[in-house]
Amino acid sequence: MARSVIDVSGLPTYAFGSRVTPWWGTFSFCLLEGTGFALGIGGYLYLAVTNKDWAKDAVPLSLLWSALFTLVLVVSALPNFLIKRAATRESLRSVRLLLLIMSAVGLVLIGLRIMEFSALPVRWSDNAYGSFVWLLLGLHGVHVLTDVADTLVLTVLMFTRHGTGKRFSDAEDNAFYWYFVVLSWLPLYAVLYWLPRF
């Protein structure tokens, strides 16, 4: 039996971006969760179009907390970008610092979302409009919560002896997911907060 060999012993054991499997895993989850958001918005719009009484039910939501939330969320894309960069360069100090910042930002965002819920002018059980507002805000809230939890765990990891090698790839992956959390919010924000005003 003739056998020739392709030598892979010199290949790295981890890498960044779309070269590694976790990136594709995260990407797939973004796809399916994005579909969930799109369908949620679709359902909202379906009722808005088919229902004669929608305009009456759709009391505009207050803009205060959501504006703060959106602002902080969008600005957080910057440290998030820096994390990605620092992780790729495997700079432990910057990654630690930035993760601390992102954890703090995440907690602030959760606080803002809680304020938002407590200030909503409709309850989920008032009408279908209210149900959708709660559903969509909740759905996105769960995403914020998951990624913040993930960030916190990663931050702790980075301060232990595990903060080397492949962990940088994980940090990069986590930052990638955060972009999804930011991006998926923008259409939700437009639909929930601005559409009823027109």
Residues that bind other proteins (CB under 8 A): 1-15, 19-21, 24-25, 28-29, 31-33, 35-36, 39-40, 43, 46-47, 50-51, 53-54, 57, 124-132, 134-135, 149, 153, 157, 161-162, 164-167
Minimum CB–partner distance for residue 74 and other proteins (Å): 25
84 or 167: whose CB is closer to other proteins?
Answer: 167
Is the distance from CB of 162 to CB of 135 less than 8 angstroms? Answer: no
30 vs 97, which CB is nearer to other proteins? Answer: 30
- Distance between alpha carbon 169 and the CA centroid of its chain, in Å? 18
What CA–CA distance (Å, rounded) separates 11 from 33? 33
| Cβ-based neighbour number of residue 150 at 10 Å | 16
Rounded Cα distance, 31 and 27, in Å = 6
Q: Rounded to the nearest whole angstrom, what is the least distance from the CB of residue 78 to other proteins in the complex?
A: 27
Nearer to other proteins, 57 or 82 (CB): 57
For 28, 37, 124, 140, the CA distances from 128, given in Å and listed in that order, are: 31, 17, 8, 18
Give the residue with the Cβ less far from other proteins, 10 or 198.
Answer: 10
* Closest separation in Å from C-beta 163 to other proteins: 8
Q: Are 151 and 96 in contact (CB under 8 A)?
A: no
Distance in Å, CB of 102 to other proteins, minimum: 17
